[in-house]
Structure 1
């Protein structure tokens, strides 16, 4: 049922009520030319669609048509002298007014409904755009983090190559000092090989840093094209958190690129020093002092790196324990979720701690081995060598502390794992 049916019903009621009073044919001709069939049908049609302007027009058309129609009927009734149907005309007018009133309510409700639908759709669109933006930023952050892991591995290879170059240079000096020219040349060749390896790794690190910067730039551009309004997300770009993380990594990679370039330059310098050593034109003390500085720096870098790793792994172990404690008290879905999260961190800690402890041992052995390879002139009591060797020892102690912290994290997750097994 619609307003067209309501008009038809009102029309039929009027015709039935006035039938016995037999209004003039001329009056009835005016009565039948209402035009309300079309406007009520248009009103019904508009209410079935989602066009606010069409609704407002349909309502206005009805009001105008109904008002004009009533005025025309009243004039015709007076002209034809059919005052006997005044009561019926009044009732018809009331029916038309009632249709107009109900149509107004229906139109207003429909417009309000459309507005709510539009707002809901807009909110959904905003949410979906926010998710899409976060997905773009998260993907970039994950990819860039992967590049950082690749670069960390490349840096280790570079450091090893740099240490090899430094060792080979010392071997050149020792062979020269022993009068073994053949061995000195062989070690000089080893210096060149190691220096090339440093240069190769430095170029790989630079290429990775460039790739990371490009990924970051592309992701930022993709989100910028979405033209998100921060006001719709609590005043903050929904992708900002992931972009901040990614940006931090890009900056770190850029720093690592610069450090790798410096290492390549130093390695190239060692090649020249090896050539000078073969000619007997190299300052022995200065060369070993430079080696001590490099040893101290490698030790400090390793200490700083694995201290960060140990803290991160320890934090993950704490998170595993917290989730296990939540699971102890929780029920059903929340318990299952906490067990899943705790299990994830247990696995992460176990893998990362084992790998880090292995690398720490290798780093400590390299530092200790290099220290032992120095000749007696490199003494702890020497005013130049002493402070550098002491700094390397402090860093070695730091590596031991990091290894102990990793062992502590492993012990913690062993207990967590035991508790999780009891939970089923």
Structure 2
């Protein structure tokens, strides 16, 4: 019995030693280079992934296209699609780059994630909680589109990371997963939902004026009716500015309040909040906080934590773009979504408020240093407007203006978007030709 007890004790101590060695090995993922487990990815959920996503496109394979742009966060279908991406990366076979035949691809069931900016392959592991070998992860090219191709019988699915500018792709194949069938079923249900606009594929419709496939909103009649939007400053209510400022202080009672040259300033030893007559609220953070690895994921999560803390944001927002300066500072630019379309400021409004988007957040090493927002929300009004110029009419007008009788350059992208300019909001076409954006009214 004594020998048995000693034997069990030795086994226990050996297991404990192995466990502790494992703890030491995996304590800091960044110092080991075999697997990438998605640093800090446990904080990402479907809603956070939704904030990044520009729009979700479901191509049913029979010519019908469904576009979901707003109100996709925390939806079951979005969670299933996110899970499918993560599983395909973790369990699927990486096959590298493949030749894509868009005519063939668009005749299949396909789910598209479209982003307004490029993401790195390493970002995808964080976002979708994937466990991927680092050498595989480094082979995923920068992308602004993700494509899921689930089969109807759930036997296999292809995952494609695609860059619409460089025309590059990285492909994973996955077989025998329950999530494949769920993706197909979810896309089937989405195909039955009503849409404000119909969408078409330029490739399937044989258009030659575009240099790639684009999903474009259209309408069957000569014009389309839509609800106009009304701007309102939600801080103009009684003590609205100070109430909004208070959410950024640990102890609002102890803050100082000053007003000079039209600028209201609230502050303590580590926080300063300013409100300008232009309607811009600016929060600056001087707290000494724990630093994290300076990645997109860590800084983006920190930016989201500030947005979620600000209960005065009324409109649904999404990440429109981001930049990284030479000092490693990430600046995230957020705009809004409403009525299944994007809402952006015009150049005139941007110049007036000194911001390129409605919300700007700067973070480095997982710490937010500055948060700025244009404190104006937009709500649907009872006024109905008419969009009489469709995408063909908008392109014709632009071609006539730019090229006259000369041969025009192909169109790279077309987007239907609300543009806010002071007290007015109009529906416009944004047309991209050779990297230059042109705006044409729908009226």
Who wins on radius of gyration, i.e. which is larger? Answer: 1
Which one has the bigger strand percentage? 2
Query: Could you say whether these structures have the same fold, taking a TM-score greater than 0.5 normalized by the shorter chain as the test?
Result: no
The structure whose residues are more often helix, as a share, is: 1
TM range, smaller chain:
under 0.3
**What's the TM-score, normalizing by structure 2?**
0.21
Using structure 1 for the length normalisation, give the TM-score.
Answer: 0.21
